[in-house]
Amino acid sequence: MDSDRSAVSGRSKSAVLCPFLKKTASGARAPEARLAEAVGLARAIDLDIVLSEVALVSAIRPATYVGGGLVERLAPVLDDLDVDIVVVDARLSPVQQRNLEKAWGTKVIDRTGLILEIFGARARTREGQLQVELAHLEYQKSRLVRSWTHLERQRGGFGFMGGPGESQIEIDRRLIGDRIVRLKKDLESVKRTRTLHRKARKRTPFPIVALVGYTNAGKSTLFNQMTRAAVMAEDQLFATLDPTMRALQLPSGRTVILSDTVGFVSDLPHELVAAFHATLEEVLEADLIIHVRDCAHPDSESQKRDVEKVLRDELGLDPAVEGRVVEVLNKADLLLESSVDPDTGALLLSALSGDGVGNVLHRIDDCLALARVAVELVVPPSDGKMLAWIYRKGEVLSREDHEEGVRLIVRLDPADAGRLATRTTSLPD
Distance in angstroms (rounded) separating the CA atoms of residues 289 and 269: 23
Is residue 332 part of an annotated ligand binding site? Answer: yes
Amino acid identity of 386? M
Is residue 184 part of an annotated ligand binding site? Answer: no
Is residue 368 part of an annotated ligand binding site? Answer: no
Is residue 120 part of an annotated ligand binding site? Answer: no
Is residue 219 part of an annotated ligand binding site? Answer: yes
The secondary structure of 279-291 as a DSSP string is: HHHHHHT-SEEEE
Is residue 107 part of an annotated ligand binding site? Answer: no
Is residue 214 part of an annotated ligand binding site? Answer: yes
Is residue 359 part of an annotated ligand binding site? Answer: no
Handedness of CA 123, 5, 50, 104 (dihedral sign): negative
Is residue 405 part of an annotated ligand binding site? Answer: no
Which segments within 207-317 are labelled E, that is strand?
208-213, 244-249, 255-260, 288-294
Is residue 330 part of an annotated ligand binding site? Answer: yes
Nearest to 72 by CA among 99, 90, 50, 111: 99
Is residue 384 part of an annotated ligand binding site? Answer: no
- The total of other beta-carbon atoms located within 10 Å of residue 88's CB is 25
Cα 143 from chain centre: 26
Is residue 354 part of an annotated ligand binding site? Answer: no
Is residue 238 part of an annotated ligand binding site? Answer: yes
Write the CB contacts of 412 (distance below 8 Å, at least 6 apart in sequence).
372, 373, 375, 390, 393, 394, 395, 420
Amino acid identity of 280? L
Distance in angstroms (rounded) separating the CA atoms of residues 269 and 51: 25
- The total of other beta-carbon atoms located within 10 Å of residue 333's CB is 15
Write the CB contacts of 92 (distance below 8 Å, at least 6 apart in sequence).
65, 100, 108, 110
Is residue 262 part of an annotated ligand binding site? Answer: yes
CB 169, CB 143: distance < 8 Å: no
Is residue 2 part of an annotated ligand binding site? Answer: no
- The total of other beta-carbon atoms located within 10 Å of residue 191's CB is 15
Amino acid identity of 295? C
Is residue 263 part of an annotated ligand binding site? Answer: yes
Binding-site residues from annotation for GTP:
213-220, 238-242, 260-263, 330-333, 350-352
Binding-site residues from annotation:
213-220, 238-242, 260-263, 330-333, 350-352
Binding-site residues from annotation for Mg(2+):
220, 240
